[in-house]
Structures are given as structure tokens and as C-alpha cells.
Chain A
Amino acid sequence: MMALPKPLHDLFRPPPTPGVLAVFSHLDTTLAAIKRLRAAGHTDFTVYSPIPRHEIEDALGQPVSPVRAFTLVGGIAGCAIGAWITLWMSADWPIVVGGKPVGSIPPYVVIMFEMTILFGAILGILFNSLFAARRLGTILYDPRFTNDRFGIFVPAGSDKVAKVESLLREAGAEEVRRG
């Protein structure tokens, strides 16, 4: 792995978290486990699934991703940049064509529009990737989670491990292991 400077390293590569990993073969048992965990007061567990399911989102009660705010900021910034480059460059070298004003807004709207889309998309994606990259590789994972299994990882110290294990088994986990 590539070495990262210290602040980035702390952000993206924190030390491995101890805890319990459960593998589920059904969606409903996964949801049951999420409900039980939340009832037992767990909040910082991770749910793996091969596809996004609204049931999982609802069971977790997650807030809406802030990605949209960055898309909006990117869009507004792009529109402003589009307006700026067209108006400024036209004013920088003013040549009158067809008797039209040097800074004509209607034709520049096309460029402002394209820049809105470009910057909105790029900024949205950039922040989406940064958010998604957090906690990368610090917790247990199973390759079946991208195929047909669901998973829950519950961070737990040695005092709570047994309790979490039995909770996950009761909810219908196919396999439970510590790490």
C-alpha cells in the first residue's frame, strides 16, 4: 500500500477495529438483526449488502447523504465559472460581431449550462468517493458480501463479544465470527 501523509493516514487508514462479523443469507433475517442491535443500543455497526435496499436504509434510520449539497455547490460554482469565462474573455478582447453586444448573455447561457453540469457532477462524485472511502479496510469483510450474502459487523470489545454473538445468532445469522 502507498504511504499517506499523517492527517490523511489517520482519516483513511485507522487501526483495525475488534468486533463480530455475521453472515446472513436472507434479507429479512438481516433486517431482524439490525432491529435487535438497535434495540440493544448499538449504533456504530456496519451492514454489508450486494445491492442497495431501502429496507436496510429504513431499518438503520440513516440520514440522507450530504452528497447532494456538494452537487448543488458544484453546479452553482460551474454556472458562475461559465458566466465568468465568457463575459471576461469577451470583455478582454472586445470585437463586435453582427451588431450584438460584446457580452451577450443568450449565447453564453449554453456554456454556463454545460459548466453547471460538469462541475456539479465532478464535485458530487469527488465528495461521494471521499465519504465512501472512510473506514476503508479497517473492519472485517467477507468476499461473499458482493455476491449473495448480507453481513453485519458489530464493533465490540472482549467484554461484549459473547453477547453480540448470541444476539446475531438468534436473529438468524448463517455464520458468526470474531476478529
Chain B
Amino acid sequence: MAETPPPTTPTRVTYDYVTRTIARTLSTPSRGYFLLLGAAVALLAIGIVTLLYLLRYGLGLAGYSHPVYWAVFITCFVFWVGIAHSGTLISAILFLFRSGWRTAVYRTAEAMTVFAVMTAGLFPLIHIGRQWYFYWLIPYPNERGLWPNFKSPLIWDEFAIGTYFTVSTVFLIMGLIPDIAAVRDLATGWRKKLYALTSIGWTGSNEQWRHYSRGYLYLAALATPLVLSVHSVVSWDFAMALVPGWHATIFAPYFVAGAIYSGCGMVITLLTPIRTLFGLEEIITVKHFENLAKLCLLTGSIVGYAYVCEYFMAWYSGNPTERAAFWYRAFGPYWWASWTMIICNGFLPLLLWVKKIRTNITALFVISIFVNIGMWFERYVIIVVSLAGEPFTKWANAVYNPTWADWGIMAGSFGWFFMWFLLFVKNFPAVSISEVKEVLPPPRSKPSKVHV
């Protein structure tokens, strides 16, 4: 905030500039946009066809084999839930910390959260194999002979993900309302009607802002413990079981840090093309990317520390099965997955100590993709490799390999996610209009001693 120009200096980035620049992102899409959208829909089509095959011929088409019955689908589930987390971190936790820089990037991150949870939610349903019995997951006393076991972490997970999806959707919509009103007041034609309906009568009156600001604050205050709880609960899906490599108290903080690390990576991956395609260089600056990179560095270091800690504890515990599990992880048949994870998550973020790399958007984009690859492999290693190494006396039992069905569903999930995301950024303001204005000096008729 220190470098804020004196309020009377006319700067290019005024309230009007912000409104018009962001409203322009909603104009008629270019060919490049349709190409991206087409690619996303094509990926989704692959996923749908694979799912139809799975429905027709059963889950045997996926690579499940004894003892690996949680595999790529659960890996993808944890991966997508993790991606979601940084969105809430940026929109809620940094809001409570009053970080001004979040304003330019939080809408993209929050939308990413909602779509990533939507994607994640598909995987348990695909994993159960018979999607038409989805309602068996809902706990209520009944005559179906199903016992709702509230002591199982899987049911906690259902409550956590359900709450997370609802609250983050509400949070996204609530943040959108003043901005939809801003684009409504500039729009024409069918968009005007759409925005008039979706801005639910927002005018920016003092009464509205009074309730809105408070409501938003409390929503952020509720979302903050929620985001920390959700990935903790996801981690307990594993940590509550007795499988060596899963049964560890470090899991909750380790998963939360990993989730935010992967999410920040995904935010960078998504923002880089959006910034260029939509001409938002003056609103989303290198400074924002640098701050995201710093978040990556922080959380990546925590993840790196957790890896060291896990291996140390496996050795220090003196427990032969635990030691064997971690030896298997690093030097067993899945050594390539473990080392991909350690290099991408443990060592790669260390590059971000260098300011030149932190401020180079191309470099950050490349790193962010490797962050995502690394974090996918982290979940693969935790889930698949821990299970594959379970019968310790006969490691040779582990014959698990993902098949085309696993990859098809995974490709479909990326298509599903990117399709929603692309549709969102073209139809609703992808950058918060009112919050970006909040960090600008307000228009004054004479210079003020108080900046901002």
C-alpha cells in the first residue's frame, strides 16, 4: 500500500477502467476460447464414453486388483479436493488477514474451488460402480437394512465435502452479486436480462452494503475453519485406517499444506492464460503472481518437511512394518512415482526462493504444471503404493497398474473441470470488480492526507 500514488494524480487504473476492463472479458469469445472449450468438451466426452463402458462391463475394466481397491479414482478425488483448497484460502483466509493483493485473483480461485469440488464429488460415485444407488451414501434411519455408521471417516468425509461444496458455492455467488450488478449496468440484450436476474436487485445502497459486508465477513470466518477441516477429514479417510503409510498423526496438516500447494499451482496455471487472453495485465500484475509463488514456496516447504518427517518417523519408530512400507515406497516397484512426487513437491518449490524465477510468469507457469503433476503423484503414492505394499512378506503380489479406463475417467474429469471454468469466465466477471476498486485510492475532489 505504501506506493499508492497521491489521490489527485490521474492514474490509468481508475474505477471506470476497472469496470470496463473486466466487463470486456465478457464480450464475444475469440476463436482461441472456442478451441479451448472444444478441447475441454472433447476430454469430457472421453470420460463419458469410458463411464458408459464401466457401467456396461463393470469396474473390472479399471485396474483394481488385490490388495489395491482404492486406486486412480480415489487418487483423483483427493487431487481435486486438494485443488479446491487454495481457492478458499485466497478468498476467505486472506480476506480475514486483509491482504489487499487477493482482490485481483480471488474470484478465479473461488470459481476454481467450486468446480474442483464438483469434479471431486464425481469420483466416489464412479468408484462405487453403481451410481444409481448414490442415495445409499446419505445417512438416515431407514428400512433398507443399511446402517449409518457415524464412526466411519468416510461418512465424515461426505458431510465435510457436502458442506464445503455448499458453503464455497454460496461464497462465490455472494462475492459475485455486486459485480454482476456492475456488468448488468453496462450490458445490453440477453446478457442484461441474465445479469438483472442474477444480481437479485443489487444497487449498492448503504443498507445493502451494511448487511453484505457483515454477512461476507462471517461467511469468510466460517469458511476458514471449514477449509482446514475438509482436507483434514479427507486425510482421516486414510489416517484412521491401520495400513502402514496411512496411519499417521501428521496426515491432517500434511494434507492441508499439500492441498494449498497444489491449489496455488492450479491458480497460477489458470491465471496465466486468462490474464493474457483477457488483457488484464494491469489488474493482475507480476506482483500477484509473485505472492502466489510465495504461497507455493511456503506450503511446498511444509510438504517437503512432511516427507522428511514421514521417513524419519518410519525409521525412528523402529516398527518393522512401517519401515518396510517406506522402503517399499522409495525403492519398490513404484519408485518412479515416489521420486516424481519428491522431486516435484520437495525440491521444485525451492526454485521459488530466487526472485528472478518468482517474477517470471512463463517460469511460474511451467513450475505450476509440475506442481500439479507432483501433487497427483503424491496421492497416488499415498493411496496406491501404500496398499500395494500391504502384504509385506510377498511384495510381488502388487500387480496393480492403471488401465485405459482409469485414464479415460481422469481425462474426463479434467474436461469437466475446464468446461465449467471456461463457461464461467466468459459469462460472469472472472475478476472481482468491487474488490479491485477497494484497493484503489477513491476519487476525491481534493488531496487527502489519508491514503486509501
Which of A's residues lie within 8 Å of B, judged by CB? 25-29, 46-53, 56-57, 60, 62, 64-65, 67-68, 71, 75, 85-86, 88-90, 92-93, 95, 97-98, 100, 104, 107-108, 110-111, 113-115, 117-118, 120-122, 124-125, 128-129, 131-137, 141, 143-148, 172
A95 to B15, CA, bound (A): 62
A49 to B140, CA, bound (A): 47
Which residue of chain A has its CB nearest to the CB of B17?
A148
Q: Please report whether the interface of chain A is mostly helix, strand, loop or mixed according to DSSP.
A: helix
Q: Do residues B219 and A136 form an inter-chain contact, with CB atoms below 8 A?
A: no
A47 to B223, CA, bound (A): 30
Q: Do residues A124 and B446 form an inter-chain contact, with CB atoms below 8 A?
A: no
Q: Do residues A67 and B218 form an inter-chain contact, with CB atoms below 8 A?
A: yes
Q: Do residues A46 and B15 form an inter-chain contact, with CB atoms below 8 A?
A: no
Which residue of chain A has its CB nearest to the CB of B15?
A148
Q: Do residues B214 and A50 form an inter-chain contact, with CB atoms below 8 A?
A: no
Q: Do residues B225 and A65 form an inter-chain contact, with CB atoms below 8 A?
A: no
Which residue of chain B has its CB nearest to the CB of A25?
B443
* B interface residue count range (under 10 / 10 to 19 / 20 to 34 / 35 or more): 35 or more
Given contacts A121-B166, A121-B170, A146-B178, contact A136 B211 (CB under 8 A): no
A128 to B174, CA, bound (A): 10
What is the minimal beta-carbon distance from A145 to any residue of chain B, in angstroms? 5
Note all chain A residues with C-beta closer than 8 A to B317. none
A128 to B209, CA, bound (A): 10
Q: Do residues A57 and B210 form an inter-chain contact, with CB atoms below 8 A?
A: yes
Chain B positions 424 through 438: 1 when the CB is less than 8 Å from some CB of chain A, otherwise 0: 000000000111011
Note all chain A residues with C-beta closer than 8 A to B218. 67-68, 71, 120, 124
Given contacts A48-B203, A56-B206, contact A100 B151 (CB under 8 A): yes
What is the minimal beta-carbon distance from B310 to any residue of chain A, in angstroms? 24
Q: Do residues A107 and B151 form an inter-chain contact, with CB atoms below 8 A?
A: yes
Number of A-B residue pairs, CB cutoff 8 Å, is 191
A64 to B209, CA, bound (A): 11
Which residue of chain A has its CB nearest to the CB of B450?
A55
A-B contact pairs, 29 of them (CB 8 A): A28-B444, A29-B445, A46-B207, A50-B434, A51-B437, A64-B214, A65-B214, A67-B218, A86-B150, A89-B140, A92-B141, A95-B147, A97-B149, A107-B151, A110-B229, A118-B166, A121-B166, A121-B170, A122-B170, A124-B219, A125-B219, A131-B207, A134-B207, A135-B207, A147-B182, A147-B186, A148-B15, A148-B16, A148-B19
Q: Do residues B212 and A121 form an inter-chain contact, with CB atoms below 8 A?
A: no
Q: When the two chains form the complex, which single residue of B210, B435, B445, B448 contacts A172, counting CB atoms closer than 8 Å?
A: B445
Q: When the two chains form the complex, which single residue of A29, A50, A100 contacts B15, counting CB atoms closer than 8 Å?
A: A50
Q: Do residues A146 and B150 form an inter-chain contact, with CB atoms below 8 A?
A: no
Quick one: which of B167-218 are within 8 Å of A by CB?
167, 170-171, 174, 178, 181-182, 184-186, 200-215, 218
Note all chain A residues with C-beta closer than 8 A to B150. 86, 89-90, 107-108, 111
Q: Do residues A62 and B210 form an inter-chain contact, with CB atoms below 8 A?
A: yes
What is the minimal beta-carbon distance from B298 to any residue of chain A, in angstroms? 25
Q: Do residues A60 and B206 form an inter-chain contact, with CB atoms below 8 A?
A: yes
Q: Do residues A110 and B159 form an inter-chain contact, with CB atoms below 8 A?
A: yes
Q: Do residues B211 and A131 form an inter-chain contact, with CB atoms below 8 A?
A: yes
Most chain A CB within a 10 A radius of its CB, from B162, B210, B433, B445: B210
Q: When the two chains form the complex, which single residue of A48, A64, A97 contacts B204, counting CB atoms closer than 8 Å?
A: A48
Q: When the two chains form the complex, which single residue of B139, B149, B222, B225 contacts A85, counting CB atoms closer than 8 Å?
A: B139
Note all chain A residues with C-beta closer than 8 A to B19. 50, 146-148
Note all chain B residues with C-beta closer than 8 A to A89. 139-141, 148, 150
What is the minimal beta-carbon distance from A96 to any residue of chain B, in angstroms? 11
Q: Do residues B222 and A51 form an inter-chain contact, with CB atoms below 8 A?
A: no
Q: Do residues B15 and A147 form an inter-chain contact, with CB atoms below 8 A?
A: yes
Note all chain B residues with C-beta closer than 8 A to A145. 185, 203-204
- Is B156 in the interface zone, CB < 8 Å from A? yes
**Nearest 8 Cβ contacts at the A-B interface:** A128-B215, A143-B185, A148-B15, A65-B214, A146-B182, A47-B206, A27-B442, A52-B209
